[in-house]
Amino acid sequence: MEKETAMSRVKELHELLNRYNYEYHVLDSPSIPDAEYDKLMRELIELEAQFPELKTTDSPSQRVGGQALDSFQKVEHTIPMLSLSNAFNEQDLRDFDRRVRQAVGEDVQYTVELKIDGLAVSLRYENGLFVQGATRGDGFTGEDISENLKTIRSIPLRLKKEWTMEVRGEAYMPKKSFEKLNNDRKNENEEPFANPRNAAAGSLRQLDPKIAAKRNLDIFVYSIADIGEIGVTSHSEGLKLLDEIGFRTNQERRVCQTIDEVIAMLDEYLRKRPELPYEIDGLVVKVDNLQQQEKLGYTAKSPRWAIAYKFPAEEVVTKLIDIELTVGRTGVLTPTALLEPVRVAGTTVKRASLHNEDLIREKDIKIGDTVVIKKAGDIIPEVVNVLVDNRTGDEMDFHMPTECPECQSKLVRIEGEVALRCVNPKCPAQIREGLIHFVSRNAMNIDGLGERVITQLFNEKLIDDVADLYKLKREQLLNLERMGEKSTENLLNAIEKSKENSLERLLFGLGIRHVGAKAAKTLAEHFETMERLQSATKEELIAINEIGEKMADSIVTYFRSAEVNELIEELKTLGVNMSFKGVKRTIADVADSYFAGKTVVLTGKYESMSRNEAKAEIEARGGKITGSVSSKTDLVIAGEAAGSKLKKAQELNVEVWDEARMLKEFNA
């Protein structure tokens, strides 16, 4: 075939396959048999193999899965993907409605949508072409999973309009796909997924897109992240526009005029929930009018104009087979109920926390009891109560031991506490749990060092304290199960990178009693170096806002320990940073800063720092960062490739700076 003929046919196949794909996966109304669609797809793939230059990024052939990746790249979200605050009962919703009306007046409508139980993703388009898809991550930074998202056939690779825009959606696994996947895994003697959400998340984080392509995932797009020049005035109008340009939105949504209508819809879908072809765990209520959304604004974590109603936890009955004890990093013994496996809220539950001995006594729990369990917030399994009438007389009382099950040291109960505690600092369970905490996301954040790898390293006697992590050698890691050349290299790089962390991460990672992530940041900012904190007195600590007597005592006691000071010296010798790297704020700095009290919008890409770093600098100087430009915006800082926000700022005569002007102010 001549190239010109092939080019014409490829274009025709693009149009046909995109149309048939849209009819099948978005409209649920296929116009041709699957066999005919497959035939056309094979023809396209063959033509692209014959003429590689005709293969484009928006080709329907891209949905079968491309080349496997070595790792996922980090993606900084232009607009943060904030979480929603939760409502658990009718009164929570009425309180939300009252706050909204107090802020914007009585003329309020709500768009109510089903809360799909999946994985939140962001999709970015340039001139109508899909260019990037990312996970939510921590809300500010996610992972680039574009190749896996291309395998979801309801995601358009080219829009019906040549718009540059970013949309948000929930990728999920339909119930039928989930059942098939787990049946296949059982047939291959693989562990089945616990629920469709985990299956969807696991599929989208496969390094080989061909695996994701086989999982039959789907998506509902639920918002336009940046309205820009599109010109819609309400959320419901935005959803209709998304339908028109090729996206799949959930049609079970409704615009409600009152909070009573919202509550009626909740009751309706609580009944309909089992009949839906996908899992939901609640409904999302949003103020429909976009101007009212802007007026309501945001808290640090969530928008004030939306709330997620979580369905009541499902309760089921099962048998408590035994009670197991675990020792945490602080030495606290936690009893856990071992249960006959039972399905609760979409997952198979085999264990449930019993918290402490007092709770076991209070609920009169015995080994062998028939118990009612639920998932608190649809996440953590817990025993609600015992069905006493089901007892046969064979049930046995449970008694806490007097010795630690890990190291056989005598257990103690500290005055004022309900928990039994092992106080042996060399208890292997405490050391192992402390290591797991040290590498966790909010502490030193060492990618690849999860609980499994830490346990392996500990059991093989390769690590005994956190300093040993920085002494690990390549050949030691290669000898571990499931550790190849690439994963070993990545892990060693992640360990090396963690040495550069700011002091607050190290402080939190060390696990000083009563010192959480927020307190660690406060301490690091105040003292600036580990050395100054080590020599701090109780009086100096108490003088700091947010540091109380109990925490101050704990910090002073911790740094009195010779072993602790030896460990810190060893970490220092190994190259671990001991200084605060953030912006140190003072009242005078904030008061004198240009940014104090100002509302600032960041847009485009900066060369000298990330958007999150710029945000931290501005907030440290008393500024407030928002995601959209309005008449209330004081300043827009435009980096490279700034788009609609810059244009809107110019239309509204809002002051605009470039990156150089921003840096000059930071260094003033």
Q: Which residues are catalytic?
A: 115
DSSP 8-class letter at 598: -
Residue 547 main-chain phi, psi, to 5 deg: -105, 115
Provide the token pair at 201: 């998340």
- Which positions ≥6 away from 500 have C-beta within 8 Å? 577
- Which positions ≥6 away from 35 have C-beta within 8 Å? none
Element (H, E) at 361: helix 357-362
- Rounded Cα gap, residues 663 and 666, in angstroms: 5
Other Cβ atoms within 10 Å of 646 Cβ, number: 20
Q: Is 507 exposed, middle or buried (0-12, 13-18, 19+ CB in 10 A)?
A: buried
- Rounded Cα gap, residues 559 and 540, in angstroms: 14
Beta bridge partners of 172: 218
Residue 307 main-chain phi, psi, to 5 deg: -150, 145
Q: Quickly list DSSP for 432-472.
A: HHHHHHHTSTTTT--TT--HHHHHHHHHTTS-SSHHHHTT-
Residue 30 main-chain phi, psi, to 5 deg: -65, 145
3-state secondary structure of 102: helix
Q: Quickly list DSSP for 106-142.
A: S---EEEEEEESSEEEEEEEETTEEEEEEE-TTSSEE
Is the four-CA dihedral 427, 433, 434, 439 of positive or negative sign? positive
Contact 432, 426 (CB under 8 A): no
Closest CA to 453 of 471, 479, 480: 480
Contact 280, 308 (CB under 8 A): no
Provide the token pair at 438: 């040290």
For residue 71, give the amino acid letter: S
Contact 369, 384 (CB under 8 A): no
Contact 636, 655 (CB under 8 A): yes
Beta bridge partners of 325: 335
Beta bridge partners of 655: 635
For residue 648, give the amino acid letter: K
Tally: H helices and E strands in the chain: 26, 22
- Rounded Cα gap, residues 369 and 410, in angstroms: 29
**Alpha helices (H) along 439-586:** 451-459, 466-469, 474-478, 485-498, 503-510, 517-527, 530-534, 538-542, 549-560, 562-573
- Rounded Cα gap, residues 256 and 283, in angstroms: 13
Closest CA to 58 of 111, 142, 9, 127: 127
Provide the token pair at 181: 């996947």
- Rounded Cα gap, residues 288 and 262, in angstroms: 13
Contact 634, 599 (CB under 8 A): yes
